[in-house]
């Protein structure tokens, strides 16, 4: 693929979860553009096929795995598929998992269990299964968490808790990674223009009786951000972080949120 900036990534292998759309899809496509062989994992076979076809049409190398990482056996299976397809693993990007927003007293046990099952425990199991392969190649782990892990809100009790757990896991594994030669970091996206944000903007526009452009401006003011992010913003940071140029990032929890996080 064209536009290669990080030659150190050429012919490496990455697993990207939640790769059928949004941030995960952008990360997979960007890594492939940098010469990485990418295994895209998600539950949506049709969307995965489209993403892989786009990568291959541009000259990249990719495969996909229809995986529900809430299944305790799925992460190890994904690792086996990747090693069988590409011979090893250099990068794991844990992006899968969306958590339910809502009033704390209305969130159910099932909502909480599902929130942790995919984003947290899915990531734990995938990293554990991939760790020996990452150690062999002095690889990298990037956990896509979220700004709610640092600054939780009343409507984001599950997401804030899960993201905070992801950040703590990142620090713990970064410590282990020093001895094993594995780079471990987390990225905290703020509001990014994905389907989820578009749904939120549509609901705000209908609630206030305004158009989408006005709803976007209103939500930006409410969040106090310079602008909404694009999936490509996160993808560019991931590609830099896992390249040789970004290797000094280790145990880093990087906010990329347009200024939403106000705390130090």
168-220: per-residue pLDDT in tens? 999 999 999 999 999 999 999 999 999 888 888 999 889 999 999 999 999 99
**Does some domain include residue 264?**
no
**Does some domain include residue 141?**
yes
* Residue-level pLDDT at 152: 87
Domain identity same for 99 and 207: no
**Does some domain include residue 22?**
yes
Domain span including residue 203: 193-228
Instruction: Supply the DSSP symbol for 144.
Output: E
Domain identity same for 92 and 31: yes
Helix H segments across the chain? 22-33, 45-57, 74-86, 109-116, 122-137, 157-180, 195-208, 212-223, 231-242
For residues 1-12, average pLDDT:
81
Domain identity same for 115 and 21: yes
**Per residue in 42-52, pLDDT tens?**
999 999 999 99
Domain identity same for 175 and 103: yes
Residue 27 has pLDDT above 90, yes or no: yes
Domain identity same for 252 and 135: yes
**Per residue in 211-260, pLDDT tens?**
999 999 999 999 999 999 999 999 999 999 999 999 999 999 999 999 99
**Does some domain include residue 2?**
no
Q: CA-CA distance, 63 to 52, in Å (whole number)?
A: 6
**Does some domain include residue 166?**
yes
Cα–Cα distances in angstroms (integers) from residue 132 to residues 138, 173, 201, in the given order: 10, 13, 43
> Which phi and psi (to 5°) does residue 75 adopt?
-60, -45
Q: Which residues of 52-81 are buried (b: 16+ CB within 10 A; e: fewer)?
A: beebeeeebbbbbbbbebbeeebbeebbeb
**Does some domain include residue 1?**
no
**Per residue in 93-145, pLDDT tens?**
999 998 999 999 999 999 999 999 999 999 999 999 999 999 999 999 999 99
CATH code, 48: 3.40.50.720
Domain identity same for 150 and 204: no
**Per residue in 73-92, pLDDT tens?**
999 999 999 999 999 999 99
Domain identity same for 133 and 80: yes
**Does some domain include residue 67?**
yes
Domain identity same for 31 and 105: yes
Q: Evaluate whether 116 touches 159 at the Cβ level (below 8 Å).
A: no
**Does some domain include residue 4?**
no
* Residue-level pLDDT at 159: 95
Domain identity same for 234 and 147: yes
Domain identity same for 213 and 244: no
Name the band, by pLDDT with cuts 50, 70 and 90, for residue 264: confident
Rg of the chain over CA atoms, in angstroms? 18
Residue 3 has pLDDT above 90, yes or no: no
- Give the count of domains, the chain: 2
Domain identity same for 66 and 112: yes
* Residue-level pLDDT at 167: 98
Name the band, by pLDDT with cuts 50, 70 and 90, for residue 1: low
Domain identity same for 151 and 169: yes
């Amino acid at each position: 693929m064209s536009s290669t900036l990080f030659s150190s990534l050429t012919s490496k292998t990455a697993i990207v979860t939640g790769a059928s759309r949004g941030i995960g899809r952008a990360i997979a496509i960007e890594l492939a553009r940098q010469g990485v062989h990418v295994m895209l994992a998600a539950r949506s076979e049709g969307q995965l096929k489209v993403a892989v076809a786009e990568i291959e049409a541009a000259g990249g190398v990719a495969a996909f795995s229809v995986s529900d990482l809430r299944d305790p056996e799925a992460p190890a299976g994904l690792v086996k598929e990747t090693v069988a397809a590409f011979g090893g693993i250099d990068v794991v990007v844990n992006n899968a998992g969306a958590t339910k927003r809502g009033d704390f007293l209305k969130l159910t046990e099932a909502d909480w269990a599902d929130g942790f099952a995919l984003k947290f425990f899915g990531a734990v199991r995938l990293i554990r299964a991939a760790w020996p392969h990452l150690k062999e190649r002095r690889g990298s782990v990037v956990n896509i968490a979220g700004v709610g892990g640092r600054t939780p809100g009343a409507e984001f009790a599950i997401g804030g808790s899960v993201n905070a757990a992801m950040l703590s896991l990142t620090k713990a594994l970064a410590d282990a990674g020093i001895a094993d030669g594995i780079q471990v970091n987390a990225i905290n996206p703020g509001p990014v223009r994905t389907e989820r944000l578009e749904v939120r903007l549509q609901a705000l526009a209908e609630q206030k009786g305004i158009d989408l452009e006005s709803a976007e401006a209103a939500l930006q003011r409410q969040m106090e951000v310079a602008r909404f992010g694009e999936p490509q913003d996160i993808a560019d940071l991931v590609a830099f972080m896992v390249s040789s140029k970004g290797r000094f990032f280790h145990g880093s929890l990087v906010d990329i949120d347009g200024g939403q996080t106000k705390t130090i």
